[in-house]
Amino acid sequence: MSLMVVSMACVGFFLLQGAWPHEGGQDKPFLSAWPSPVVSEGEHVALQCRSRLGFNEFSLSKEDGMPVPELYNRVFRNTVFIGPVTPAHAGTYRCRGSHPHFLTGWSAPSNPLVIMVTGVHRKPSLLAHPGPLVKSEETVILQCWSDVMFEHFLLHREGISKDPSRLVGQIHDGVSKANFSIGPMMLALAGTYRCYGSVTHTSYQLSAPSDPLDIVVTGPYEKPSLSAQPGPKVQAGESVTLSCSSRSSYDMYHLSREGGAHERRLPAVRKVNRTFQADFPLGPATHGGTYRCFGSFRHSPYELSDPSDPLLVSVTGNPRHLHVLIGTSVVIILFILLLFFLLHLWYSNKKNAAVMDQEPAGNRTANSEDSDEQDPQEVTYAQLDHCVFTQRKITRPSQRPKTPPTDTSMY
């Protein structure tokens, strides 16, 4: 009986040792960052240390880069929030978990997690070759480049928590660039991509992110049809509308032009003939091109149908609105010239009037003396009519007091 009790105690001890790992054991925790290990300067990031055993507490340590004093000798529960993030937070982190049933203290250290802080340098540019619409099973090249001499480039897909891809920058013709190969293309690789640049001495401090680039996989659904109204051949300046339609219940249609940098999107509208259609107005036609359209569903925005058959839109003749524009421009120019002439004439007249008002005082005195020598009953008035002077003599009634005659009559 005693032998059985001892045996059961030994079995229980070994089971307990297997269930709760000791320090340095194989059952190490997993450290992750949410929403992403790539964090813009000034934002926040959450670090979570997890294990299948579950932890009551965990500690966090930073292995390289600038020290972060708020992490030293501190124990956290579940999640620790870091922020506002500064370049000092960039670096490699690990965590250790603690549990009341651990016999020898803390767990083994977790996987390394690299936190990268962006916004330290000017953003690079991101391009897709041959284009952002990629057929299933094909390969696309994403090129990140900048006139800043970055030594490394990183490519990151939004919504993915794993470390971004890293390549050494190649310098050609005064620019630094790196080519990332993505493929064979599948839905799991589609999404929104951004790239960053870094220099060697601050490899965890990155540039501002490039503008987002959507990589879309095409081919899993049937192609729609594309037509032009009033037709694919139009006179320059005339309006043209491209209609994309299908019997498949697509939620959205996408219109692209060969050589164009951006696509246009419009929601599909159900028609009376049970087709789903979107009308893309191109406005007054100025130049032609080859167009294609695609359909997509709301639940899978990065997955498009096969492209429609190409539609060549050709534009002939001179734009009619150009003649109207030229005529209007001529009228405006003539009006401006006429206005300038009238203003010049008005200014000249005003200047002449000012000169006349500012005659020398001697001339005004002589004129007044001459006037005194004239008959006191005659006064000269000057009437000003647009700088044309006329003189008019007006005889005023004498204002001398009337006196009786000096001759007397003797009776």
Residue 411 has pLDDT above 50, yes or no: no
Q: What pLDDT is stored for residue 157 in this prediction?
A: 92
Q: Do domains 122-218 and 225-316 have the same CATH topology?
A: yes
**What percentage of the chain exceeds 70 in pLDDT?**
75
Q: What pLDDT is stored for residue 65 in this prediction?
A: 73
**What is the average pLDDT value for the chain, to the nearest integer?**
79
Domain spans of the chain, in order of start = 30-118, 122-218, 225-316
CA distance linking residue 127 with residue 197, whole number of Å: 15
Q: How far apart are the first and last CA of the chain?
A: 192
157 token code pair: 């897909």
Per-residue confidence at 339, pLDDT binned at 50, 70, 90? Answer: confident
Least confident range of 113-117, 290-294, 395-399: 395-399
Domain 30-118 has CATH 2.60.40.10: yes
pTM for this entry: 0.62
Per-residue confidence at 378, pLDDT binned at 50, 70, 90? Answer: very low
Least confident range of 24-28, 208-212, 336-340: 24-28
Least confident range of 8-12, 142-146, 192-196, 301-305: 8-12
Q: What pLDDT is stored for residue 137 in this prediction?
A: 92
Q: Which CATH class is domain 122-218?
A: mainly beta
Q: What pLDDT is stored for residue 74 in this prediction?
A: 79
Q: What pLDDT is stored for residue 379 in this prediction?
A: 47
Per-residue confidence at 177, pLDDT binned at 50, 70, 90? Answer: very high
Residue 165 has pLDDT above 80, yes or no: yes
CATH number of the domain located at residue range(s) 225-316 in this protein: 2.60.40.10
Q: Dump pLDDT digits (tens) for 75-109.
A: 888 788 888 999 889 999 998 887 766 666 788 88
Q: What pLDDT is stored for residue 20 in this prediction?
A: 42
Q: Average pLDDT for residues 181-204, to the nearest whole number?
A: 90
Q: What pLDDT is stored for residue 309 in this prediction?
A: 95
Q: What pLDDT is stored for residue 389 in this prediction?
A: 43
Least confident range of 77-91, 141-155, 202-216, 378-392: 378-392
Spell 71-104 as b/e; 16+ CB within 10 A means b: beeeebeeebebeebebebbbebbbbbebeebee
Name the residue with higher pLDDT: 287 or 303.
Answer: 303
Q: Average pLDDT for residues 303-321, to the nearest whole number?
A: 83
Q: Average pLDDT for residues 349-373, to the nearest whole number?
A: 57
Residue 139 has pLDDT above 60, yes or no: yes
Q: What pLDDT is stored for residue 376 in this prediction?
A: 45
Least confident range of 120-129, 271-280, 354-363, 373-382: 373-382
CA distance linking residue 81 with residue 97, whole number of Å: 17
CA distance linking residue 367 with residue 242, whole number of Å: 86
Q: Dump pLDDT digits (tens) for 291-310.
A: 999 999 999 989 999 999 99
Q: Dump pLDDT digits (tens) for 202-227.
A: 778 899 999 999 999 998 899 999 99
